[in-house]
Amino acid sequence: MRSFLAALVVSSGLISGCSFDSVVGLVDPYRIDVRQGNYVDQEMVAQLRRGMSRDQVRYVLGSPLVVDMFRSDRWDYVYRFRPGSGEAQQRVISLFFAGDVLDRIEGDVAAASGDAAAAPQPRSRVVEIPP
């Protein structure tokens, strides 16, 4: 009887070793938060004004993540945040220049407003820059 019980324990251990993936699936390992790109918030966008030079924009927002060598009049700031658990979030803001001065902004980040109870805006839109 004892040898049968020992054989049963050993065989169940060997069989469970074959299904190691199912055991790993039950254990949820720690995953770090991953931040990539340029973080741009509403306060930074609120500092931008139409007619600012490229150097002034670079001082406010930092160097752009993407500068298209075929379209030098556009800078793209891309920020991606992937928490350890949950869905990834992405923000994209594009700055368009006329010559060497800022002309307009398009993207996910809007200029800061004093009305906190305002209705949520769509994520992608054109931001008007005051002169």
Convert the pLDDT of each residue in 44-101 to its tens digit: 888 888 999 999 999 999 888 777 788 888 898 888 999 888 888 888 898 999 988 9
Q: Is residue 79 part of a domain?
A: yes
Q: The domain containing residue 84 runs over which residues? A: 31-111
Contacts 24+ apart (CB under 8 A), 3-12: none
CA dihedral 126, 69, 101, 109 (to 10 degrees): 30
Q: State residue 24's pLDDT score.
A: 61
Q: Residues 69, 91: contact at Cβ < 8 Å?
A: no
Q: Is residue 131 part of a domain?
A: no
CA pair distance 30, 61, nearest whole angstrom: 32
Higher pLDDT, 25 or 29: 29
Mean pLDDT on 122-127: 56
pLDDT at 112 over 60: no
Q: Is residue 123 part of a domain?
A: no
Number of domains in the chain: 1
pLDDT at 31 over 60: yes
Question: What mean pLDDT value characterizes the chain?
Answer: 77
Q: Is residue 3 part of a domain?
A: no
What pTM value is reported for the model?
A: 0.61
Q: Is residue 92 part of a domain?
A: yes
Q: Is residue 96 part of a domain?
A: yes
Tell me which amino acid residue 65 is: L
Residue with tokens 């752009």, as numbered in its chain: 64
